[in-house]
Structure 1
Amino acid sequence: MLSIRIPRSRRFLLASAALTSFAALDPPAALAQQAREPLPPVEVSPAQPRKQAKPAGRDAQSAHRAPARRPVAASTAPKPAVPAATAQTPLNSNAVAESASRLGLTVRETPATVEVISAETMREQGYRTVSEVAQGAVGVTSGDNPAEPSAFSMRGFTNSQINTLYNGIKIGPQNMTSRVMDTANLEAVEILKGPASLISGEGAAGGAINFVTKQPHTGAISNEADFSWDSLNSFRAHYGSGGSTNVQGLDYRFDISRSSLNGFADDTNTKTLDVSGQLNYRISDSLKVWGAIEYREDRSKAYWGAPLVPVAFSGSHATSGIVSGNYISNYNGTNLGAVTIDDRTFNTNYNVLDNRNVAQEVWLRGGFELKLAPDLTLKSQAYGYGAERTWFNNEVEAFNAGTNTVDRERFYVAHSQRLVGNITDLIWDANIAGFDNRMVTTLSSSYLDFVRPGAANFPGDSVSLVDPARGTYGLLTTQQQTARIDNEALSFEDRLKLTRTFALIGGLRVEHIGLDRNSTDKNGLEKASFPFTKDWAPVTGRIGYTWEAVPGLTFFSQYATGADISANNIFLLAPTQPLDLTTARTYETGVKHLFWDNRAEWSFSAYDILRKNVYAAAGGMALNIAGRQESKGVELAASVRPIEPLRLWGNIAYVDARYADYNFVGGSFSGNTPPNVPRIVANAGASYRFFTPWPVEFGITGRHVGDRYNTDANVVTLKAYTVADVYAFVDIPKTVFNAVDQARLTFRVRNIADKRYAIWGDPFYPDQILVGAPRTYEISAAFKW
């Protein structure tokens, strides 16, 4: 093991920790007593008391019919009690998303496109993993490629061009750090579109997706339990409990979930375990402290996709409507001609018998919220994160037109990651020349140590297309890479209300990133040009406005910038690669409208994003450099409840994403579309509820995803597809289970038409395609008491 040394940011980290400790242990005795609630959004004049934004409720839901939920409060602060009655909006625009702004703004008050999907929506829509949550959002697609689980695409950008956050904290590039995650322990998933560097730092050219764990509430203890089973013999189980304890001011939340999701391919499954807990303690009306811990584990027998096969070879087993195009194998160089997915490979697993894909993660978080004065609040949190990940698989499955067999190649890599950091916010509410103003100053620092043993040899063989002899991994020789990264950032965000209906909102972030990299061969000797160090200092920001022209109708616009590190994977950055920043900017404008007595809501946005100095994935773990990536599009979402039993919702997104100045020796990809980016993504749903003694609801959801490509070359098309799910649930009266307040039994059919389709393509492994799951049946039960 490598010893962890204190980097040049140690003084910064120690100072932050000292500030946290001092404020928590020695609050001024003369502080004014304040109400026991988190910071409200800046919405009303000083003459009126500010109130917590009221979140959307079940009867007026988001594009996914978002049910009643607490607003997503700051990740550094405890949650308030659940209000007895809350305002309800169909698109959940009263929710507060910390990943979009630190100002405590609701979605409707934020000059950007933001979605918040609540825990109740996840339960009703049957979203089992975060990838399924993303697929229901506006214009978002996802694929659980085992090399990069929980990969996302939105607004023309994919994978590490989108920041993945955990309770507002970034742990590294998505394609290195994200894992399959069950939704049972989540309170909400927040999705911010467009450059998000102001809030979450470098790497957020396409936006950010934030996973928020369930947190304590003040009030009576409530418990919940959920169980499900499907026709693939998968199961999920979850228990959660939270509320106020017998100790005055002490609230808790505890959740434990376990799942085993079996794949449709032979001998494939993913097992997850998630245990999370948090304590909030109100020491006084002006000081709150909290602490949280979480352990996550996932173990997979992975499905790496189906190989592209010549139509001429498959004959009567060739399929249509899944892929098309002519292809020369990136791995073995043979010309496959017109390609297809052979129907005999739908359930075939080409992975070795001793394969494994495993991760264990531990989170420790804690902090405080201290009211220094009625208009001044200090919030801080310290965090520590550790992860151990392992991939041990056959990852290449390339059909060889010369031998009519499938060429395979093994790959091994492991991660040992440690991260510590601190985020401190100072929030100041003021009246400047008669105008309401709120400013948040944020100081953050972190230190990351990353050790990456990997394969130094890559055993390979060839197997038959049908009923392959899977074998075992074979001889493994390893080498090692390391990365040590320190990060400091200072940011300012401000909202100035020029009138009661018009507000200017902007911010600036100054960031420093220091990198130390090393790489050794199988004998432990340093490779050429290693070790090396590099520093970056990106400056990013946002400026925009919101204007509520008439009550409920809000117009917004923004200009925002973002920055990534070269190759968008700081852990693998080599000294021979250009070490320049990749930059991004966006123009966006739109409208959000809540009307018809809060029974209907719609939103529209149009955007133009430009990203320069882009590093694009190519087969064989190589990288190409594209001069620019341009993305223009529109998004529309709407939800309405015309009558009490009926709910309708839908969304559609169109994007035109293209490379420019993408030239290399032997050709050009200028004008091509980035991989896994469809032009059109649409979702729609409807449900009808019968208010009988045992209430019953029937619902249907549909999803359409347009054509995509699996590589920058755009020679193989993943064909457009449309799938639909149906469900029915019955709410069982309390008289049946006296000890249970709410009980629900649900039956669901996924992919009811049994559509076969390509869901994702990994540009690092372009010879194979991930196929979507066939029709499955699921039954679940949920209880609350």
Structure 2
Amino acid sequence: MSSVRRARPRQFLLASAALTTFAAANLPAALAQEARNMLPPVEVTPAEPSRKPPKPAARAGQGARRVAAHRPAAVPAAPKPVVPTQTPLNTNAVATSASRLGLTVRETPATVEVISAETMREQGYRTVSDVAQGAVGVTAGDNPAEPSAFSMRGFTNSQINTLYNGIKIGPQNMTSRIMDTANLEAVEILKGPASLMSGEGASGGAINFVTKQPHTGAIRSEADFSWDSLNSFRTHYGSGGSTNVEGLDYRFDVSRSSLNGFADDTNTKTLDVSGQLNYRISDSLKVWGAIEYREDRGKAYWGAPLVPVAFSGSHATAGIVSGSYVSNFNGTNLGPVTIDDRTFNTNYNVIDNRNLAQEIWLRGGFELKLALDLTLKSQAYAYGAERSWFNNEVEAFNSTTNLVDRERFYVAHSQRLIGNITDLTWDANIAGFDNRLVTTLSSSYLDFVRPGAANFPDDTVTLVDPARGTYGLLTIQQQTARIDNEALAFEDRLKLTRSFALIGGLRVEHIGLDRNSTDVSGLEKASFPFTKDWAPVTGRIGYTWEAVPGLTFFSQYATGADVSANNIFLLLPTQPLDLTTSRTYETGVKHLFWGNRAEWSFSAYDILRKNVYAAAGGMLLNIAGRQESKGVELAASIRPIEPLRLWGNIAYVDARYADYNFVGGSFSGNTPPNVPRIVANAGAAYRFFTPWPVEVGIVGRHVGDRYNTDSNAVTLNVYTVGDLYAFVDVPRNVFNAVDQARLTFRVRNFTDKRYAIWGDPFYPDQILLGAPRTYEISAAFKW
């Protein structure tokens, strides 16, 4: 039966690719359409006209204790695509991960943020975790077992889909890596249940990373360099534009970074090389191809251990963590806990530790105008990844011995993914109403092999100046997962009036899983292999109403689904083989006004997720029944006078478990891990229009109390940090070879605040600390 089902995805891939064949067969007819007008875009009601010209603006599992493991946006066929002006909150941007209808953020009946490459550069966002933390109500952590983990609207980790150019490669807590921002064009954040767009796993939303795209026009190049006081450096070179071949545009980027940690002997080194070619065969047909290679290698920081206040004495710190704790690892009662100030820079990892990953993407497709009102887009993709973790991952203080207990863990991934996504867009007039319908057929086949440790060497070290040692003996066992996925989705926008539109969609999905697990002798474990199928149906229905130009009200009802027992790749036959279901009610307003110099948005939501399984105070799974999240989000940006920019956002969420009962207790009413009730960002910048223009700015971030486990026994205390920066734009006559040159000086965490940034519920004996004050200088050139 398993072999039969594994054949199905390949058949389905052929079925979805049949549309490609259909397109090729109709190529002569398509070419005959060259003389016709382009497909009309979805109508965008113009915002209030500007009175001034626009301004530049793995972890893996160990039995029940280790449960979690570590399109291109379609370019229009028109030779000269129009780039929308970036508004203060960037709501003119089109987020393909939020809708396939070609809608701007302001036209989408959901809360969507698009952080542009320009914003990333100005704010000094070096990694995607930095980007997320500047967004409304989003927090992030780079726990090395699950790097680039996010939390928003009460949901974390694999409850939020992570996408790469609109493609999902697997659950976040196994596939995400630390990623530099240099090769990215934008980061799109879609809040709330969003399975309509990206399928299983999007109960909390989706975050999409979009690589830089070719443009039509003169070749433009850029180069960036930076260095900081931890001896970290980043370099990037990029170039793109039209070639001498008529209709052929290109984009190429290469970046390299070495980011040193504040803990001893910790660092992450990244390399990213990406390129894409777009070829306009005619006004009706464009083909494209893209390739990307990513690599990261690191020596990991796994956090600082929770220590009894009584033991630390004068070295106990206040304001980082609080509460009382019984060690999940060794069972000793630590009583009231703290972070010992002697451990701020201590690395408890073994000397021969390593974290590394190599990833390669191949993508290609076409966009074909079949008729005046009919457009076909298709892309095929292949992805491969090799990842490994070889570390001491546990550091648990033992109140009986006053030593730190450690335990090793090894895991590796070999992942292969192939797939196809095909869209057919139809513009029509139904009974006098403009309508756009997008039908999407997608399929993928994933093969995942996970060699992992069968033994877990352990030892004890001193809290201060520990003898790091080496990993020691390693024996290996293996797990496999084969997942096929097929989906048919419909999304529609019906304009009942020029200002009021109904927008909805439906997704029917099939997920097939084959799992196997063998021991060190290669013998299958009990209850393996096994097979499981799911068929979730999810969707969205909502409206947008532009009451007056620039002022848009919206509401939506949306649903999502994800695996109840944390991770589809590592699901065990003894765990619940069900999907959770989630739904959201959301309403809000988006307002662009004052000649495009000011913009604000507000949303209120109510999310319910049922059939939840969660980490109960450590490395065990318990049923949580339901998770409820209610909250509001507000963002605003304004330029009251030409030199001054002000911006800020604040989010409040009340996220709680309900019906979370288990043998020996209940966590009903508790808050999920890494979910702060309040998150706020604010910033101001002032530009001096001197012969060498100078801009100075300050950015602050406030994050409320959080917990590191469902038991809510230990609190990661509230913190507020801030960055300062100043840059000077060097006149062109100084560097004649470049059009723009900018020199920047930045101070991160200028108050040198010590704080807890993230807690891993599967490793609750240790807490990740935020980086101390650092200084950075950078230079950027464009020509």
- TM-score, with structure 1 as normaliser: 0.95
SS in 1 for 2:671: coil
1:472-518: CA deviation from partner (whole Å, max 9, x where unpaired): 00000111000000000000000000000100000000000000000
Contact 1:34/1:374, CA 8 A, preserved across alignment: no
Q: 1:84 to 1:305 in 2, by over 3 A?
A: same
Is 1:204 aligned to 2:205, yes or no?
no
Q: Distance in 2 between matches of 1:128 and 1:35?
A: 45
SS in 2 for 1:313: helix
Identify which of 634, 641, 644 aligns with 1:643: 641
Counterpart position of 2:357:
359
Q: CA deviation at 1:371?
A: 0.2
The 1:57–1:305 alpha-carbon spacing in structure 2 relative to 1, beyond 3 Å, is farther
Instruction: Tell me if the contact between 2:318 and 2:338 (Cα under 8 Å) persists in the aligned partners.
Output: yes
Residue 774 of structure 1, aligned match among 772, 775, 782: 772
| Native 8 Å contact 1:138 1:652 kept in 2 | yes
Against the structure 1 CA distance between its residues 574 and 86, is the aligned structure 2 distance closer, same or farther, given a 3 Å change threshold?
closer
Deviation at 1:19, TM superposition (A): 2.9
- 1:292 to 1:684, Cα distance in 2 relative to 1, 3 A: same
Contact residue 77 and residue 379 of structure 1 kept, 8 A: no
Deviations 1:177-235 (A, max 9, x none): 00000000000000000011000001101100000000100000010000000000000
Cα 1:482/1:85, change in 2 over 3 Å:
closer
Partner residue of 1:290? 288
Unaligned runs of 5+ in 1: 45-49, 62-72
- Equivalent pair of 2:84/2:92 in contact (CA under 8 Å): no
User: Does 1:517 pair with 2:515?
Assistant: yes
Does 2:219 correspond to 1:221?
A: yes
For 1:512-551, list aligned pairs within 5 A. 512-551=510-549
Matched, 1:682 2:680: yes
Q: Which residue of 1 aligns with 2:727?
A: 729
- Contact 1:4–1:449 (CA<8 Å) still a contact in 2? no
Aligned to 2:67: none
The equivalent residue for 2:192 is 194
Is the 8 Å Cα contact of residues 38 and 79 (structure 1) preserved in structure 2?
no
1:665 aligns with 2:659: no
Which of the residues 458, 479, 482 maps onto 1:481? Answer: 479
The one-letter amino acid paired with 1:764 is F
Aligned equivalent of 1:719: 717
Gap change, CA 1:577 and 1:541, over 3 Å in 2: same
8 Å CA contact 1:77–1:290 kept in 2: the answer is no
2:582 paired with 1:584: yes
Partner of 1:335: 333
Q: Confirm whether residue 317 of structure 1 aligns to residue 315 of structure 2.
A: yes
Secondary structure of the residue aligned to 1:568 is coil
Give, in whole Å, the separation in 2 of the partners of 1:232 and 1:460.
31
Q: CA deviation at 1:624?
A: 1.5
Query: What is the Cα deviation at residue 569 of structure 1?
Result: 0.6
Q: How does 1:674-713 map to 2 (within 5 A)?
A: 674-713=672-711
Query: Do the aligned partners of residues 57 and 108 (structure 1) sit closer, same or farther apart at CA in structure 2, a change above 3 Å counting?
Result: farther
Distance change >3 Å, CA 79–CA 318, structure 1 → 2: farther
Equivalences for residues 270-285 of structure 1 within 5 A: 270-285=268-283
Q: Is the 8 A contact 1:399 1:407 kept in 2?
A: yes
For the 8 Å contact 1:155–1:206, the answer to whether it is kept is: yes
Distance in 1, matches of 2:621 and 2:75, equals 41
Tell me, yes or no, if the aligned pair for 2:556 and 2:586 is still in contact at 8 Å. Answer: yes
1:6-64 alpha-carbon deviations (Å, 9 max, x no partner): 532221111223432452475133641268978733336xxxxx99x99x998386xxx
Distance 1:351 1:490, change over 3 A: same
Cα-to-partner distance string for 1:351-382 (whole Å, 9 max, x where unaligned): 00000000000000000000000110000000
Counterpart position of 2:469: 471
Is 2:493 the partner of 1:495? Answer: yes
| SS at structure 2 position matched to 1:764 | coil
Corresponding residue for residue 44 of structure 2: 43
Pick closer, same or farther for the CA change 1:74–1:364 going to 2, 3 Å: closer
CA distances 1:667-724 after superposition (whole Å, capped 9, x unpaired): 0000000000000000000000011111000000000000000000000000000000
Corresponding residue for residue 70 of structure 1: none
Shift of 1:139: 0.1
Contact 2:617 2:710 in 1 (8 A): no
Q: Indicate the residue corresponding to 1:10 in structure 2.
A: 10
- For residues 80 and 692 of structure 1, the distance between their equivalents in structure 2, rounded to whole angstroms, comes to 40
Q: What does residue 60 of structure 2 align with?
A: none
TM-score of the superposed pair, with normalisation by structure 2:
0.95
Show the counterpart of 1:28. Answer: 28
Equivalent residue for 1:505, pick from 483, 503, 506: 503
Q: 2: CA distance between counterparts of 1:658 and 1:208?
A: 21
Once the two structures are overlaid, the 10-residue window that deviates more, 135-144 or 76-85, is 76-85
Q: For the residues of structure 1 that align with 2:612 and 2:642, how far apart are their CA atoms?
A: 50
Report if the CA contact (8 A) 2:72-2:213 is conserved: no
Give the secondary structure class of the aligned counterpart of 1:100.
Answer: coil
Aligned-partner residue type, residue 131 of structure 2: V
Shift of 1:623: 1.5
Distance in 1 (alpha carbons) for counterparts of 2:316 and 2:359: 42
User: Are 1:77 and 1:367, in contact at CA under 8 Å, matched by a contact in 2?
Assistant: no
Query: In the superposition, relative to structure 1, how do residues 57 and 590 fare at CA in structure 2: closer, same or farther (>3 Å)?
Result: farther
Contact 1:694-1:731 within 8 A present in 2 as well:
yes
Amino acid across the alignment from 1:339: V
Contact 2:274 2:293 in 1 (8 A): yes
Given residue 10 of structure 2, which amino acid in structure 1 is its aligned partner?
R
Distance 1:459 1:74 in 2: 44
| Partner SS for 1:8 | helix
- 1:580, distance to aligned residue in structure 2 (A): 1.3
Q: Within 1, Cα distance between the matches of 2:126 and 2:746?
A: 12
Number of equivalences: 765
Q: Following the alignment from structure 2 to structure 1, what is the Cα–Cα distance between the partners of residues 569 and 40?
A: 37
Q: Is the contact made by 2:146 and 2:174 (CA closer than 8 Å) also made in structure 1?
A: yes
Greater CA drift, 577-586 or 134-143: 577-586
Whole-angstrom distance in 1 between the partners of 2:215 and 2:410: 44
Partner letter of residue 578 of structure 1? P
Q: Which of the numbers 45, 54, 59 marks the counterpart of 2:55? A: 59
Q: Residues 614 and 629 of structure 1 are in contact (CA less than 8 Å); yes or no, is this contact kept in structure 2?
A: yes
Alpha-carbon distance in structure 1 between the residues aligned to 2:394 and 2:273: 34
Give identity over the alignment, percent: 86
**C-alpha distance after superposition, 1:383-411 (max 9, x if no partner):** 00000000000000000000000000000
Any idea what SS the aligned residue of 2:376 has? strand
- Distance of 2:278 and 2:38 partners within structure 1: 12
Distance 2:83 2:10 in 1: 47
The 1:32/1:749 distance shift into structure 2, 3 A limit, reads same
Per-residue displacement from partner, 1:299-348 (whole Å, max 9, x unpaired)? 01000000000000000000000000000000000000000000000000
For residue 263 of structure 2, what is the aligned residue in structure 1?
Answer: 265
C-alpha RMSD of matched pairs (Å): 2.0
Distance 2:603 2:195 in 1: 20
Q: What is the CA distance between 1:567 and its match in structure 2?
A: 1.1
Matched residue SS, 2:8: coil
CA distance in 2, matches of 1:475, 1:286: 62
Q: How far is 1:89 from its partner?
A: 1.7
Separation of aligned partners in 2, 1:250 and 1:38: 21
Q: CA deviation at 1:618?
A: 3.8
Structure 2 letter corresponding to 1:703: R
Shift of 1:82: 7.5
Sort the Cα spacing of 1:450 and 1:658 in 2 relative to 1 into closer, same or farther, 3 A.
same
**Deviation at residue 566 of structure 1 after TM alignment:** 2.9
Which residue in the other structure is 1:127 paired with?
125
In structure 2, distance between residues paired with 1:211 and 1:707: 29
Q: Which residue of 1 aligns with 2:449?
A: 451
Instruction: Work out whether 1:628 is the aligned partner of 2:626.
Output: yes
Taking the aligned partners of 2:5 and 2:411, their CA distance within structure 1 comes to 24
Unpaired stretches in structure 2, ≥5 consecutive residues: 58-70
> Residue 400 of structure 2 aligns with which residue?
402
Shift of 1:80: 6.6
Q: Distance in 2 between matches of 1:492 and 1:192?
A: 18
